[in-house]
Amino acid sequence: MSFLIISSQRDPKGWVQALKEKQPDLDLEVYPDVADPSKVEFALSWKHPHGIFKDYPNLKVIASMGAGIDHIIEDPDIPKNIKITRVIDEQLTRDMSVFVLALIMDYIRNLSFHYCSKEWKPTKYLRPEEIQVGIMGMGILGVGVAEKLIRNKFHVTGWSRTKKEILGVTTFHGDNELNNFLSETNVLVCLLPLTSETENILNKQLFEKLPEGAYVINVARGPHLVEEDLLEMIQKGHLSGAALDVFRKEPLPEDHPFWTNDKIRVTPHIASVTNPKTVVPQILDNYRRMQDGKELEKVVDREKEY
Amino acid sequence: MSFLIISSQRDPKGWVQALKEKQPDLDLEVYPDVADPSKVEFALSWKHPHGIFKDYPNLKVIASMGAGIDHIIEDPDIPKNIKITRVIDEQLTRDMSVFVLALIMDYIRNLSFHYCSKEWKPTKYLRPEEIQVGIMGMGILGVGVAEKLIRNKFHVTGWSRTKKEILGVTTFHGDNELNNFLSETNVLVCLLPLTSETENILNKQLFEKLPEGAYVINVARGPHLVEEDLLEMIQKGHLSGAALDVFRKEPLPEDHPFWTNDKIRVTPHIASVTNPKTVVPQILDNYRRMQDGKELEKVVDREKEY
């Protein structure tokens, strides 16, 4: 029985080290140099090449290295009996909360405008208590961000697929309540999981429901956003701008119009990075559960896609 | 008896409106069109032309429009018997706290670097709990900023002339404790009043006491900072950079080296602006106290200069 690491776009070294440190006798294989694929029952993966899992006849679990599992389920060739798990990393939630707060503080105080313009042009500023932040996606990250913003005096609302109750947050859910949620939102923050239902959700029809001058923040996944629609709504003046940390193609191509639009603030996917050391214990715990035939933790609902 | 407004560098309209609204029968004069200077007993002032007060033989009080009174006392021709008052504006403290938090969030998450560079260059980020912010000046603004930062998980220390006790803040005071205060400070925030003792306090000798890589924020007054010393210490790599909102000459001249130094983030004196409506009641209250021969409030200690 062996444990496979797949990390074809990033160096897996940190993961190998953290796993070996915690469990020195682990029978570890690193893709693509796998001695005997039939021995692999557990794969820890980030952005695997599609179709490879058919070469692992005894695979039982694919564990995501991060909170998102869209990179796994977008591969149509994964058999339905394979369990998919994610990690929950409190540090990741804290980092995301600080990052979203930083983006909104920058917006209300116009910092990057002043820094980048290199001109003495005082502008009026907004205050937290004047801003309603609407968060789409009230999972662990969404709730963490909401709490951080509330502690800093912002008004916060949340929208999610199913009904949620969160202290201090006015919550909306489902398609029926989306318009009500949007109509009062000054700063929209997307923290949705990427699923077939949420892909392209940040589009023209949605932006039109926001009040004039609204600001859009996407820290979830690039495919949530219809890029042309954002550019059009900013150009028309309906949206005052956007802060984007994720993109359909990363790195964002050098000739992409986002780079030169002075209403769009681009960051290179830096909101939060999973620390292998922090999450290796929960991954190894699931590995042992699988070996012992016990129920796994943090299993993804294949129907809901999150 | 008349009430004089002096605001030679900014339009006094907002002040005239707010005063008239609150006390329609006020005998108001607006500098320089003063019918009878000998009638003026109370002057509400911001950056008056030096020497003018000798033309007002019956002047008893000069009230600053803002929290700072350095612009008044730097005029050597003001008779010692004239009382100087300042305003205390809670909104101003809140605005300053939000602004300093925004500057520090920008620093730890590298936002402006990413925004302005227009390149895909992910960098490591710092976390609030890894940062010790040292605040120089623990008056009302300093304490407000400290509380805001503590609520956002930063470690906060404070230094002031006299001993202060503030919940959650390690405090230092006086010249003897300055080195200890500086030696552990990663982000130095200047919120001192400008006095003859604090002018030029942000200089090479002080910067050398900070740990390597420290970051400097000046949101107090331009003359606190020796500009050449800051440039030198950044160039040497001892300081990682600075965020400056105030300058010796404002607007900052177009050819000033701060504009083109990519380690220095310039904002055009926007930390917080006093709202006439908010503070007019306390100014009129002092005006009535003067008329009634009562003791004034928020009087400045002419010896301490704040």
Tell me, what's the ipTM? 0.91
| Residue B273 confidence (pLDDT) | 85
Catalogue the active-site residues of B: 221, 269
- Quick check: B255 contacting A, CB < 8 Å? no
CA B233 – CA B236 distance, rounded (Å): 5
The three-state secondary structure class of B81 is coil
Q: Is the pTM of this model over 0.95?
A: no
Q: Is A221 known to be catalytic? A: yes
Q: Is A48 known to be catalytic? A: no
Q: How confident is the model at residue B154 (pLDDT cuts 50, 70, 90)?
A: very high
Q: How far is B139 from chain A (nearest CA, A)?
A: 22
Given a cut of 90, whether residue B10 has pLDDT beyond it is no
| Residue B222 confidence (pLDDT) | 97
- Edge-first strand order for the sheet with B132-136 is B170-173, B155-160, B132-136, B187-190, B214-218, B239-244, B264-266
| Residue B106 confidence (pLDDT) | 97
- Using H for helix, E for strand and C for coil, what is the string for B22-63? HCCCCCEEECCECCCHHHEEEEEEECCCCCHHHHCCCCCEEE
| Residue A250 confidence (pLDDT) | 94
CA B23 – CA B280 distance, rounded (Å): 10
The domain locations on chain A are 2-89+274-292, 90-266
Pick A122's closest partner by Cβ from B127, B259, B268.
B268
Is B90-266 the same fold as B2-89+274-292?
Answer: yes
Residue A301, both tokens = 């609902």
For B225-243, the pLDDT digits (tens) are: 999 999 999 999 999 999 9
Pairing of strands A83-85, A132-136: unpaired
| Residue A280 confidence (pLDDT) | 96
| Residue B80 confidence (pLDDT) | 87
Instruction: Extract the residue ranges of chain A whose pLDDT is less than 50.
Output: none
| Residue B275 confidence (pLDDT) | 87
Q: How far is B132 from chain A (nearest CA, A)?
A: 16
Q: How confident is the model at residue B170 (pLDDT cuts 50, 70, 90)?
A: very high
For B247-298, the pLDDT digits (tens) are: 999 999 999 999 999 999 999 999 998 889 999 999 999 999 999 999 999 9
Average pLDDT over chain B, rounded to whole? Answer: 95
Given a cut of 90, whether residue B107 has pLDDT beyond it is yes
Which class in CATH covers the domain with range A90-266?
A: alpha beta
Min mean pLDDT across A112-116, B127-131, B179-183 is at A112-116
CB B190 within 8 A of CB B202: yes
Does the domain at residues A2-89+274-292 carry the CATH identifier 3.40.50.720?
Answer: yes
CB B79 within 8 A of CB B43: no
Pick B112's closest partner by Cβ from A112, A120, A260.
A112
Which residue in the block uniquely carries the two structure tokens 């681009």? A266
For A159-193, the pLDDT digits (tens) are: 999 999 999 999 999 999 999 999 999 999 999 99
Q: How confident is the model at residue B186 (pLDDT cuts 50, 70, 90)?
A: very high
